Amino acid sequence: MQISTTLVTAPSRVRQATFVALAVCLAAIVAACVIVVAGLTTSFATAPFSPRVEDGHIPEGAAVSVTDDHLPAIGELDPALLGAMRQAATDAAGAGLDLPVTSGWRSVPYQDWLLGVAVETYGSEDVARQFVATPEESSHVTGEAVDIGSVDAQSWLSQHGAEYGLCQVYANEPWHYERLIEPGEVCPDMVPDASSQRGS
């Protein structure tokens, strides 16, 4: 009777051990899949940002004018600013001068990336914010600022910008203009840099 019991229960124990082994293998496979998926998710989340045209990026050296509104950097500008810049560009062209735009509207991720680059460049956020504002403070993100590329164009706007309501905002950024006044009024005094108020 004892021999018979042993013969009957042995296969049962083998099956039980097999099920346990299969369960352990299945759990290991599931755990491996979870780790792989988590790794992929993390890699996507931490992938470095690369500014695109869709973010308002204008490639260095590109000749962009205020009539290039197929580009988000221009097309997403505040209509009042864009209109003022177009009128100024028309009049400047009559004087034989272009008003090239190096930056206009920017997306929040692009502005955040620029701030990060500035922090790396200057070694501290306090210094970086003298040149690049946070996305929450930037007038580029709201489409209310343009940066002008050439020194001659900057000089022309510094003399004539108020006629169109365009003013240089920061003493350390002769390229940065916003529409702050009605045409013909007097521009407010410049502030030292972008950390002084909302900005660059």
d(CA 144, CA 141): 8
pLDDT of residue 16: 58
Please tell me the distance from the alpha carbon of residue 169 to that of residue 167, in angstroms, as a whole number.
Answer: 6
Q: What pLDDT, on the 0 to 100 scale, is given for residue 47?
A: 58
What is the total residue count of the chain? 200
What is the DSSP secondary structure assignment for residue 54, as one 8-state letter?
G
Q: Tokens 């660059």: give the residue.
A: 200
pLDDT at res. 11: 53
If you ran DSSP here, which 8-state letter would residue 190 be given? P
Per domain, the residue ranges of the chain are 1-47, 53-196
pTM for this model (two decimals): 0.74
In the CATH hierarchy, which fold is given to the domain comprising 53-196?
Answer: Muramoyl-pentapeptide Carboxypeptidase; domain 2 (3.30.1380)
- Per-block average pLDDT, block size 10, for the chain (200 residues)? 47 54 49 41 55 95 92 98 98 96 98 96 95 95 97 97 98 97 97 75
Backbone torsions φ then ψ of 184, nearest 5 degrees: 95, -15
The reported pLDDT for the residue numbered 6 is: 46
